[in-house]
């Protein structure tokens, strides 16, 4: 093994430029969440293994397990949903329902690294716990839409489906409940392997050719939401559970315009399966067509998971934003803050004698709300200090020399244009705010 310093494969260091964008994403999402009344929650990244085991279906093989020196079997957090269920059960006497909660932090999965997928990744989750109302489902979709718009995305589509519609598709094709899981798994791969690949998957799992054809016909329906729902209603006539799911989707969709969700940002997509086994109702994912990145985020209703911990039914709906995916895509598209550094102003040190006056200027600008970095070596020439500030990407440098001090002025140098001018010391903050 090489002794060369390196981070663990699938986990990344985030240098300042990357962290500025990541912090912008997190701050933007937090702001939207809190505007809708969601409250922050933080849970540990380590849980007892029994807390996570048996909760996420086929993906359980990706959980990082290990044993402590004391013999406790523990696991790294796979996502923030199962820990939320544990929190609800553990603190249910202290919480008021329905409860809007958000959580932002790391999760870990032992999967093969690929574009947009890492072994350590950050998620921003929101959930409404304790309400079965379709308004709750609609509000989650509204927060999703508002969040992506606030980050600067356009041209995204939120695909919406219902788990009982997929179950109805399986039943309408002559399959029993036991076979439905195989149908979900096959359909979930549609964007990766295409219709022919899904057909092959279904046939391999024992689905008859005519049943596979009917399944593909239904899941590939597309068009206006009302048209897709009408077509599904006709094809699934006589299936009470599927008809109930269709009515539930109609109710959710009816609230979206009132919550400010534009009609061109969502579609009913019978092909959407969502891989995690705990979803019980509506499911949704947001995708960008260009550049292709797969799912930006996803979520849905899971009415049984929280209740399994709490010992009573607790309906819940939520979603998770993948910070890694948002970061990588925004970086690729040149979105987010233009600055490579947090500092807005660099205060130079003319010489040792004038250093206290320069530091006092920096102090006053910080008090006025600016992010200010100062030079540290009064012996450095101004040219070297300007070069440093420019390399850091700081837009303005200030000089306070003996003549400037005598006149009560400060030299403001725009490092992007190279222009500079003298400004009265009391007017420096206003000049910086104006960008001059």
Residues belonging to the binding site for L-histidine are 79-81, 109, 123, 127, 274, 278-279
Burial class for 198, CB neighbours closer than 10 Å (0-12, 13-18, 19+): buried
What values do phi and psi take at 27, rounded to 5?
A: -65, -40
Q: Which two tokens stand for residue 25?
A: 């994403």
Q: Coil, helix or strand for 297?
A: strand
Q: Which two tokens stand for residue 108?
A: 């870990």
Contact between 282 and 137 under an 8 Å Cβ cutoff? The reply is yes
Q: Which residue in this structure is represented by tokens 């910086």? A: 432
First to last CA, the chain: 54
Contact between 275 and 310 under an 8 Å Cβ cutoff? The reply is no
Cα–Cα distance measured from residue 55 to residue 309, given in angstroms and rounded to the nearest whole number: 11
Cα–Cα distance measured from residue 71 to residue 248, given in angstroms and rounded to the nearest whole number: 47
What values do phi and psi take at 159, rounded to 5?
A: -85, 130
Residues placed in the known binding site: 79-81, 109, 123, 127, 274, 278-279
Residue 310 CB partners (closer than 8 Å, separation 6+): 85, 88, 89, 92
Cα–Cα distance measured from residue 251 to residue 246, given in angstroms and rounded to the nearest whole number: 9
Cα–Cα distance measured from residue 269 to residue 173, given in angstroms and rounded to the nearest whole number: 18
Residue 107 CB partners (closer than 8 Å, separation 6+): 45, 76, 77, 78, 79, 80, 120, 121, 122, 123
The alpha-carbon radius of gyration of the chain (Å, integer) is 27
Cα–Cα distance measured from residue 204 to residue 212, given in angstroms and rounded to the nearest whole number: 11
- Locate all alpha helices (DSSP H) within 126-189, ordered by sequence: 134-151, 163-172, 177-187
**How far is residue 252 from each of residues 161, 248, 270, measured CA to CA in Å?**
11, 6, 16
Q: Which two tokens stand for residue 46?
A: 């380590």
């Amino acid at each position: 093994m090489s002794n060369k310093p390196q981070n663990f494969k699938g986990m990344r260091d985030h240098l300042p430029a990357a962290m500025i964008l990541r912090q912008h994403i997190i701050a933007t999402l937090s702001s939207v969440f809190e505007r809708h009344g969601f409250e922050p929650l933080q849970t540990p990244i380590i849980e007892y293994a029994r807390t996570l085991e048996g909760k996420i279906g086929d993906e359980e093989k990706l959980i990082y397990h290990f044993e402590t020196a004391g013999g406790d079997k523990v696991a790294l957090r796979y996502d923030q949903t199962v820990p939320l269920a544990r929190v609800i059960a553990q603190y249910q006497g202290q919480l008021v329902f329905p409860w809007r909660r958000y959580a932002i932090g790391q999760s870990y999965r032992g999967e093969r690294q690929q574009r947009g997928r890492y072994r350590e990744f950050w998620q921003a989750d929101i959930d409404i716990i304790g309400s079965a109302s379709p308004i709750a489902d609609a509000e989650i979709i509204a927060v999703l839409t508002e969040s992506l718009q606030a980050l600067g995305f356009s041209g995204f589509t939120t695909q919406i489906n219902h788990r009982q519609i997929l179950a109805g598709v399986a039943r309408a094709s002559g399959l029993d409940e036991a076979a439905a899981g195989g149908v979900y798994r096959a359909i979930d791969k549609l964007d990766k392997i295409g219709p022919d690949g899904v057909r092959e998957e279904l046939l391999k799992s024992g689905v008859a050719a005519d049943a596979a054809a009917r399944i593909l016909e239904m899941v590939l329906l597309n068009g206006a939401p009302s048209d897709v729902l009408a077509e599904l209603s006709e094809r699934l006539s006589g299936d009470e559970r599927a008809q109930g799911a269709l009515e539930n989707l109609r109710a959710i969709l009816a609230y979206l315009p009132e919550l400010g969700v534009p009609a061109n940002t969502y579609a009913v997509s019978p092909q959407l399966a969502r891989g995690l086994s705990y979803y019980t109702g509506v499911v949704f994912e947001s995708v960008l067509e260009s550049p292709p990145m797969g799912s930006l985020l996803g979520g849905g209703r899971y009415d049984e998971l929280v209740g399994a911990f709490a010992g009573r039914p607790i309906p819940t709906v939520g979603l998770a934003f993948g910070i890694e995916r948002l970061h990588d895509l925004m970086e690729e598209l040149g979105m987010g803050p233009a600055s490579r550094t947090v500092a807005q102003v660099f205060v130079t040190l003319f010489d040792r004698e004038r250093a206290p006056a320069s530091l006092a200027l920096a102090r006053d600008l910080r008090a006025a709300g600016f992010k200010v970095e100062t030079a540290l070596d009064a012996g450095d020439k101004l040219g070297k200090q300007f070069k440093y500030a420019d390399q850091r990407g700081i837009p303005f440098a200030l000089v306070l020399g003996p003549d400037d001090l005598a006149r009560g002025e400060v030299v403001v140098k725009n490092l992007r244009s190279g222009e500079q001018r003298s400004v009265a010391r009391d007017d420096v903050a206003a000049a910086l705010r104006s960008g001059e």
